[in-house]
Chain A
């Protein structure tokens, strides 16, 4: 599993940079809505099939990270289409996620549970990161899966450092203006991450 933390964006293909720009656009939407600016898109066969941005302040649910939002969009949509669990699993295994910040431990676990194919992220998340910073959930496939088929966790390919400076500068903008939704000053750092 590679976790390539290269600051320079020149190393990445125009396709990767293009999708990351869409994720950054989502992060900007979050910033406009007074949310911690993290955004993502999910790509299948070169097409964006879902987007998400952080909504933790609006929902008062600190688990509503961009990744969870985007995954829910697809799960609900596919469920309405009438796909079986096996079909849903197969579709996710062909999907790539582009997210502006390294998925946190919770989101990395969720991505492993749904069985995403690969993750491209912007800046590292040195407080909560689940793809190398604190834990490496992308590279761990649990032994528990052996005895009971697919029941363990599933690893995924992971690559970081894509347009990281853009992602960081959005986060800096947010923290400089403070978190206006927080009820008290010491609560001004509701973090998605």
Chain B
């Protein structure tokens, strides 16, 4: 894994279906030819798209440009699909006419049969013959790469999440930060609240604090950990479903209700205390958190003074930063809340739903699709936040 040399941060797109190794991508044969006179290119292409359109190869570019010595550009064009038997006699008559009238020398070339599902796949495809890259979520920024400025912003929010995960003394937990990329603000943040050992200001007990035990306290890695013998016997459990992402969504919803109050639901505070907050201690702490976030809200110019026309719909347009790849419950919760992009630092081989065990971002039936990125954290940064031992790297 690339963090090991201490090296650079990397942001890797995690596509909706497993990437196909470059040497295993299916290809088809086409008949192509070099164009010796570049000024004829447009005329030839226009003629070919009429007589031999590439019906099932819309992702394949008709023309390939290649820089050769002396700054010269060599152009090749796809004439048609290669005849089944590979015999050029099988080339359609119209195409033969083009070959003859421009004195082309046809040759067989390979192109990729299917459109690329990731940038990596696309880069490999283009080595064979150029293709275009339009994944279903292609309009989400970042899929085709990040600008320097955007990368730095991603890195700084991931650092924020890493610090958050570390803020629980010796107990390592998952952490989540929901970010509005327009205002570059953290609008909600949370850590796991499954077990009271994970709540802030609690001394880590011998049961959970030891290095060997730390790993299992991360909710999304082992969702059934809460019934584990060690935790099961203590009476200090909090809530088996309060994984960091779930709590962060709850917090962003509370912020939405604060910024854009709805007169129809006056008894809101009662609901929040009775239904949404499992323990008295947590109610207190949430109030403290809410105060912090309230202060943030005062600086929040993006949404004005709760003007309903600017009210965001759920988390549309927002990103979430998670230290660990979410479990299937959390991943689906993020779909429901309409998150735009999910960034996680560490893969979750036991229960990860965004690439490791499931690949929820590729489920076509869902009504919303977010883009998923893994942020590879350099080893020295992991060391600094003392997560290296459990990062899975």
Contacts and interface: CB of A to CB of B under 8 A. Distances in A.
Contact of B241 (A110, A126, A144, A183): A110
Given A84-B237, A86-B229, A109-B223, 9 more contacts: A60-B256, A62-B333, A76-B279, A85-B232, A113-B240, A127-B366, A142-B350, A152-B350, A153-B224
- B227, B232, B309, B313 pick with most chain A CB within 10 angstroms: B227
Contacts of A86: 227, 229, 232-233
Interface of B: 195, 216, 222-229, 231-235, 237-241, 246, 249-250, 253, 256-257, 265, 271, 274-276, 278-279, 308-309, 311, 313-314, 327-329, 332-333, 335-338, 350-351, 357-358, 360, 363, 365-367
30 contacts: A59-B253, A59-B257, A59-B271, A62-B333, A72-B241, A79-B278, A79-B279, A82-B235, A84-B232, A85-B226, A85-B232, A88-B237, A104-B336, A106-B335, A106-B336, A109-B329, A113-B224, A113-B226, A115-B227, A127-B366, A128-B332, A128-B365, A128-B367, A134-B366, A148-B216, A148-B228, A150-B227, A150-B228, A154-B224, A187-B313
A113 B227 CA distance: 9
A73 B314 CA distance: 24
Nearest to A129: B365
Contacts of B265: 58
Nearest to B311: A183
Contacts of B279: 76, 79
Interface string A133-146: 01101000010110
Contacts of A104: 332, 336
Contacts of A84: 232-235, 237
A69 B276 CA distance: 9
A71 interface: yes
B229 A149 contact: yes
Contacts of B256: 60
Given A72-B278, A113-B224, A135 B358 contact: yes
- B231, B235, B271 pick with most chain A CB within 10 angstroms: B235
On chain A, which size bracket covers the interface?
35 or more
A186 B256 CA distance: 20
A63 interface: yes
Contacts of B253: 59-61
A94 interface: no
Contacts of B228: 148-151
A68 interface: yes
A75 B329 contact: no
Given A61-B337, A109-B327, A127 B224 contact: no
A106 B234 CA distance: 28
Interface string A47-61: 000000000101111
A153 B338 CA distance: 25
B241 A114 contact: yes
A105 interface: yes
Contact of A115 (B195, B224, B257): B224
